[in-house]
Structure 1
């Protein structure tokens, strides 16, 4: 018992006399770093133990070649005191040396040597051993890692109309000449739409007598997500679970629709993983996806095939592993996910070549012009929760999305050449926050979070040249808010931010070295979708909002009410105006167009714009009442503003919610007829007066 009280007394003395005793803790240092970086980027490494600011000098921290020859280097310690950044190194193989004296005095650690390579261009993986070593290093980095999901952001704007020689609807693509596909496409008087594991083909040449002429069926494990057209080719994009590989395959199934009522299957091309999106330009289909290999089995001393699988029915029924010469490691990435790009030559009835490449380094967003592909990936930083738990949290990585990495390829048919990469502050909303103009890449980002009062959110615009070197920027736009939508229109850029009101900013980007904010408009609500009407007018679709008071917190807060569509006059760039506005439905009303620009209906001849809509209205105690669903068509002109022309709503007859099977998904036109397409029915109307003509039920 006496010994027990002596121990307690000793602990008490140590606790009240910290100046007399020095605690020395022996710990292992873990370092997190990518093995390769580009000459256009800085290389950095993060340690699990803090460093001393006054020891970041050549005596304690320095760089050598792989042959131990010291080389000049600019090395900076970031504010977290655990991350070292090595700047502006020439191409070559190096080692960063950190002497034990540089680490915090409270820890007894060993000196560290971290090898890294700076490259000018990405090269193919040279051996199976190199590929395996990449994943083994990844496992070492993830030994004490806990990954948190990043915040999801809402999509935004739309695109220019694409000219149609057949007087039919076309997909609302972001870039003219770059097809994106949709769940409904129209060709030569026939409507093709996705339904379950199949595609329905409707003969709409006689709008008074709609006919279901064909249903193309797929396996139960094959889910079609998108359709696209190229001449007489119908391309069905989907995800299929493969029993052979035990993984999902992103596939493109090609059909000859010269005879729409008898589609002829031509070819299937697939890549392992999940599809991110597709593009068609210059006679070439591009599949862009991600694949996450099961590299954890390396811990069990197994040697798995870590290469992605591909499939081409023109070459047989077997799945093939991607050859090493088709695999590269993207710089400054270490997340274990492949970005896979497959280019398919669509000329000659899809009998052309297929080229698939895999790049280690996953992606979350993409933008494509006719000559270049850009993909983006989030960059994470370590987040130490509390100083009180520092020793525990030193061994746990809690990453949060902070910045964005951009990768660029030039494309020429099936040829794809990696150009380089760059990093920008903040996270990108979606593809409409990105744009290419005269070879320069423009991107809007939001840094931080609107709820973080200590580090308020800020919004930025960055302009990079063809080599992804920064030319100019607008930084710290609308502090405390985040981006809800963006639109680039040549030498002008428009962005909507929001927290309590909706500022629409007009930015002059004519001089890429010096982009300038010209004007700002603040109105209640926000636009989460922008579409250009002409050079000086924008259509915005979003929500109205209202301020309420919380008696418990004694603070105001913002809630959405009805949908809202606005016409913005930006002819005076320094003084943008809300020229016209309409309210749509009541509280709870929504349209897919607010998060998916493909749902926008456009007809230039009548100046019509429309979209599917589900209508609700406010009831007592914040409840809502279902009122109906269908589509609404508006005439929108710079002279007259916004006028409702077609109110194609099926009113509620007592239902509490919309019927999913009959909810309108798309609105299209063929000549003088408008069609609404739902999962289980197609309806036709006269375009001039919206008189109902026929209804086709699809079972």
Structure 2
């Protein structure tokens, strides 16, 4: 009786928390979800809330007509979920998909025939009118009436020469020639670092006498997450709430640092929404963000501003809505989020007007080469009607499986040309799971979820040509595991998967049509980040793990212990080896570099690699005990392996945990000195023996 009572309470809570979650139980019609446009190079698809009969996918029951009602030949397929129809081989034009009611597996529901209009396009075009824009969002609202809710989408030498001409640290960028920015940058003996609503400028030319050159004060509403350098420009990029515009904006503030002690503000650029990331290549800054308009106000017949706002102090002081000719709807998307891209020409002091374009179809992943920008977004499987073999609570609380949609732009300075889009199975981990090589795009994905015992997860590599057409693939690697890190190195690719052990796969991608796994290494633990040392060695930074037994579930489970760094020898591609390994700290120890490669310190002269660390150790039971914080520097070579050279740790066992203000954020070098940068202090050391030189306290 008590059990039934709690079941009723839980169902009431579900209804209260997730409005409309049981609509599928009483709905007497079919709900369809489909994009309004698709590229001629892609398939178009429509998903329904009710399953279809496979034997009814014939021209008598499911067919395509022109907008005027004339039948046209097309390839029509039903996917395995029995709810998604895929249409292929249509020329550009306006069409309608017709699905007769007899094609639906009714299951007791009183369904009706469906007609869906859509357009096949050859090139991406701008939105033509305010009415078209409103119709897009109104259609989006109707497709969201039923269902389980939509997840909101939330990671060259020439460029380095622009940033610095001296012997000093540069940002750990993924692609040569493409600058990514960081919270600390170095130029001409000065260190620029972000602290709250300010940028600290430290004169580090004399490491024995550090001086605070100045502090650039920012607005209280301005949160800076990136600093970047170009010639004598310091660019501060972040998110800011603009009261005058009544919205949050991604902003870029430009400063002339010809005189580092007296920076001059020269320009301010903004686009509505929130920052995804930035890139600088070929003298151009690209700001990529997402913006979510208040389109649900259309339900209440209220006036809603559906166009993103922009600002450019070069053009004037007004916050203006993006004109329609700069707004496009990405193909095969039904997403109320804009992907916004602002391009700024940095030549001659960045004085020309910025070019901002908006694309309806949000993004969460980003990769950029010198000539192309790729954005990715997850596509969640259609769960508009609950399958009978799944529990209601499982459907609500467990994440859905997803595939990945890829969008590509060819870039030439401030000119952005949409090149196409495609879809691949599974989801992408981060930017290091993507790469462009000789015009081809390579991407690693994980399909499924490792915790779902009823459905095995798989890992894939897909290689696409310059038009995003499939060339080759390696599928179904490491069943039951997921990708933890990946790295492409020319004609070889490396990927680490994990669930209980860490397999490192070596993949030959020299022939894009026939990629092949050459070798595999299984070791305990996993690497969060892979970094190339030379052509036949790479470093992995992550965690060690151990197996434990749960007496309640009577199952083994895996827990992380200490940090771990490995040197992998892949000179024999078919037999990769863990040549050298070190354990760092104890249980609970961590470093920013495990999740943000920008925290990696590199010095080629000494073969140094280092990072900030916070050290803990195992205490009683599951307790962890704070040991200290600072930075560690290692010499890493193929001959010597991994050798600890600098153990710059501030040990304070009297404190229960690290002091956030004093934790080292980045490690950099200038000539023969090394510097650790924390929020409230900068420390200098000799680079050859790490002898302390000076400490500058920052208030």
Same structural fold, with TM-score higher than 0.5 when normalized by the shorter chain: yes
Match of 1:387? 388
Answer whether contact 1:25 1:108 (CA < 8 A) is retained.
Answer: no
Contact kept? 2:158, 2:177, Cα under 8 Å: no
Deviation at 1:657, TM superposition (A): 0.2
User: Which residue pairs with 2:20 in the alignment?
Assistant: none
Change (3 A) 1:555 1:501: same
Number of aligned residues: 669
What's the CA shift for 1:352?
A: 2.1
Deviation at 1:29, TM superposition (A): 1.8
Counterpart in the other structure of 2:61:
60
Q: In the TM superposition, what is the alpha-carbon distance from 1:145 to its structure 2 partner?
A: 3.7
Name the CA shift for 1:636/1:509 in 2 (closer, same or farther; >3 Å).
same
Shift of 1:27: 1.5
The corresponding residue for 1:27 is: 28
Paired with 2:73 and 2:66, the residues of 1 have a C-alpha distance of: 10
Query: Superposed, which structure 2 residues align to 1:491-506 within 5 Å?
Result: 491-506=491-506
Match of 1:130 in 2: 132
| 3-state secondary structure, aligned to 1:108 | coil
Give deviations 1:658-678, integer Å, cap 9, x for gaps.
010000000000000000000
Tell me how far 1:74 sits from its aligned partner. Answer: 1.5
* TM-score normalised to structure 1 length: 0.93
The match for 1:45 is 46
Q: Is the 8 A contact 1:587 1:617 kept in 2?
A: yes
SS in 1 for 2:297: helix
Cα contact 1:236–1:252 (8 A) shared by 2: yes
Q: State yes or no: 1:111 paired with 2:120.
A: no
- Sort the Cα spacing of 1:492 and 1:150 in 2 relative to 1 into closer, same or farther, 3 A: farther
Long gaps (5+) in structure 2? 1-24
Q: Hey, what's the Cα distance between the residues in 1 that align with 2:326 and 2:76? A: 35
1:160–1:174 CA contact under 8 A, matched in 2 = no
Q: Is the 8 A contact 2:51 2:82 kept in 1?
A: yes
Report the Cα distance in structure 1 between the residues aligned to 2:557 and 2:299, rounded to whole angstroms: 50
- Residue 25 of structure 1, CA deviation: 9.2
Q: Which position in structure 2 is the counterpart of 1:20? A: none
The residue aligned with 1:622 is 622
Tell me if the contact between 2:197 and 2:220 (Cα under 8 Å) persists in the aligned partners: yes
Task: Indicate the residue corresponding to 1:88 in structure 2.
Answer: 89
Moved more, 190-199 or 548-557: 548-557
Per-residue CA distance 1:461-496 (angstroms, 9 max, x = gap): 000000000000000000000000000000000000
Q: Assess, with a 3 A threshold, how the Cα gap between structure 1 residues 473 and 35 changes in structure 2: closer, same or farther.
A: same
| 1: CA distance, partners of 2:466 / 2:581 | 40
Classify 1:48/1:593 alpha carbon distance in 2 versus 1 (closer, same or farther; 3 Å). same
Do the aligned partners of 2:338 and 2:361 also contact (CA within 8 Å) in 1?
yes
Q: What is the match of residue 356 of structure 2?
A: 356
Question: Equivalent residues in 2 for 1:82-481 (5 A)?
Answer: 82-105=83-106, 106-147=108-149, 149=151, 165-383=165-383, 384-387=385-388, 400-481=400-481
State the partner residue of 2:73.
Answer: 72
Q: Which residue of 2 aligns with 1:3?
A: none
Contact preservation (8 Å) 1:632, 1:648: yes
Query: Secondary structure at the residue paired with 1:107?
Result: coil
Match of 2:523 in 1: 523
Assess if the C-alpha contact under 8 Å between 2:159 and 2:179 holds in 1: no
C-alpha distance in 2, partners of 1:402/1:196?
Answer: 37
Distance 1:127 1:148, change over 3 A: closer
Output the CA distance in 2 between the equivalents of 1:25 and 1:215: 63
In 2, are the aligned partners of 1:160 and 1:175 still within 8 Å (CA)? no
Q: Write out per-residue CA displacement over residues 483-521 of structure 1, whole angstroms, 9 at most, x where no aligned residue.
A: 000000000000000000000000000000000000000
State the SS of the aligned residue for 1:139: helix
Pair 1:482 & 2:482 matched: yes
Give, in whole Å, the separation in 2 of the partners of 1:643 and 1:26: 66
Partner SS state of residue 333, structure 1: coil
For 2:413 and 2:589, how far apart are their aligned partners in 1? 44
TM-score, normalised with respect to structure 2: 0.93
What is aligned with 1:680? 680
Q: Distance in 2 between matches of 1:80 and 1:173?
A: 41
Distance 1:280 1:111 in 2: 51
- Check conservation: 2:153, 2:364, Cα contact below 8 A: no
Q: CA deviation at 1:244?
A: 2.2
- Looking at structure 2, the residues matched to 143 and 399 of structure 1 have their Cα atoms a distance apart, in angstroms, of 20
Q: Does the 8 Å CA contact 1:628/1:652 hold for their aligned counterparts?
A: yes
- Give the equivalent residue in structure 2 for 1:21: none
Q: Distance in 2 between matches of 1:388 and 1:512?
A: 40
| SS, match of residue 511 in structure 2 | coil
Deviation of 1:234 after TM superposition, in Å, equals: 0.3
Deviates more, 1:179-188 or 1:307-316: 307-316
Work out whether residues 160 and 173 of structure 1, in 8 Å CA contact, stay in contact via their aligned partners in 2. no
Partner Cα distance (1:399, 1:519) in 2: 33
Matched residues in 2 for 1:488 and 1:144: separation?
A: 42
Comparing 663-672 and 400-409, the one that deviates more: 400-409
Instruction: Give, in angstroms, the shift of residue 302 of structure 1.
Output: 2.1
Q: CA deviation at 1:619?
A: 1.0
Higher relative contact order, chain-length normalized (CA < 8 Å, sep 6+): 1
Shift of 1:411: 0.5
Q: CA deviation at 1:636?
A: 0.5
Instruction: Indicate the residue corresponding to 2:19 in structure 1.
Output: none
Match of 1:19 in 2: none
With 440-449 and 76-85 compared, the bigger mean Cα shift is at: 76-85
Does the Cα contact within 8 Å between 1:685 and 1:694 map onto a contact in 2? yes
- 1:108 CA drift (Å): 2.6
Report the Cα offset of residue 419 of structure 1.
Answer: 0.2
**CA apart distance, 1:50:** 2.2
Contact 1:150/1:401 (8 A) holds in 2:
no
Q: Residue 568 of structure 1: CA displacement?
A: 0.3
Distance 1:25 1:144 in 2: 11
**Deviation of 1:387 (Å):** 1.4
**Structure 1, gaps ≥5 residues long:** 1-23
Any idea what the Cα deviations from partners look like across 1:256-310, whole Å, max 9, x if unmatched?
Answer: 0000000010000000000100000000000000000000111111232210000
Q: CA deviation at 1:354?
A: 1.1
What SS class does the counterpart of residue 254 from structure 1 fall into?
strand
SS at match of 1:598: helix
Query: Greater CA deviation, 580-589 or 348-357?
Result: 348-357
C-alpha deviation, 1:133, in angstroms: 0.3
What secondary structure sits across from 1:621 in the alignment? coil
2:90/2:120 contact within 8 Å kept: yes
1:100–1:396 distance in 2 versus 1, CA, 3 Å: farther
Q: Is the 8 A contact 2:153 2:362 kept in 1?
A: no
* 1:78-113 deviation per Cα after TM superposition (whole angstroms, max 9, x unaligned): 233222111222211111111122222433322211
User: Quick one: distance in 1 between partners of 2:398 and 2:75?
Assistant: 28
Please say which structure displays the higher CA radius of gyration.
1
Alpha-carbon distance between aligned partners in 2 of 1:389 and 1:486, rounded to the nearest angstrom: 34
CA shift for structure 1 position 150: 7.9
Distance in 1, Cα, partners of 2:458 & 2:143? 31
Q: Deviations over 1:216-237 (max 9, x none)?
A: 0111111111100001000000
Counterparts of 1:52 and 1:95, CA distance in 2: 20
1:644 and 2:672 correspond: no
